[in-house]
Amino acid sequence: MQTGTRILDGVDDDLRVTDDIALPRTELGWRFSRSGGPGGQSVNTTDSRVELRFDLGATQALPSELKERALLRLGNRLVDGVLSIVASEHRSQLQNRRAAELRLVTVIAQAIAPPPRPRKRTKPSKGAIERRLTDKRRTGLRKQERRRPED
């Protein structure tokens, strides 16, 4: 077992985003409320809806260049630098917490991913150009045949 990492009931202290990057659970904020939808007898008594809040602007878990990239890409989802994720699809609060954590890891991983390589422009092949022109001629003839004959 690593030092500084505590494992309780199979739950690691950190949320793994990549092999190198982990979000400490101490930086996560939780809010619970009643969830809408079906729930049986416990629907009005259980706070199963989960809102996970992660302060992306203040975290020290991400290197500065990755944090800048994430802030730029997630700008429309952030409120004062805080990313909020809501999960209420399960009846159990624990399942909703796990779903919210998984969604947070996915969102952060996509936000810090390197940009795709620029597309290399290519010319169409001679065969493709010829097929396109042949199809254009055929379409033009078909439309010409539909016209009313002139006297």
More confident residue, 89 or 129: 129
**Cut 0.85: pTM above it:** no
DSSP secondary structure, the chain, as one string: --TT--EETTEESEEESSSS-EEEGGGEEEEEE---S--GGGGGT---EEEEEEETTT-SSS-HHHHHHHHHHTGGGEETTEEEEEE-SSSSHHHHHHHHHHHHHHHHHHHHSPPPPPPPP-PPPHHHHHHHHHHHHHHHHHHHHHSPPP-
pLDDT for residue 15: 87
What is the reported pLDDT for 107? 94
What does the pLDDT look like over 9-67, one tens digit per residue? 445 578 898 888 899 989 999 998 887 766 666 666 677 889 999 999 898 899 999 99
pLDDT average, residue stretch 120-128: 96
pLDDT at 151 over 90: no
Q: What is the mean pLDDT of the chain?
A: 85
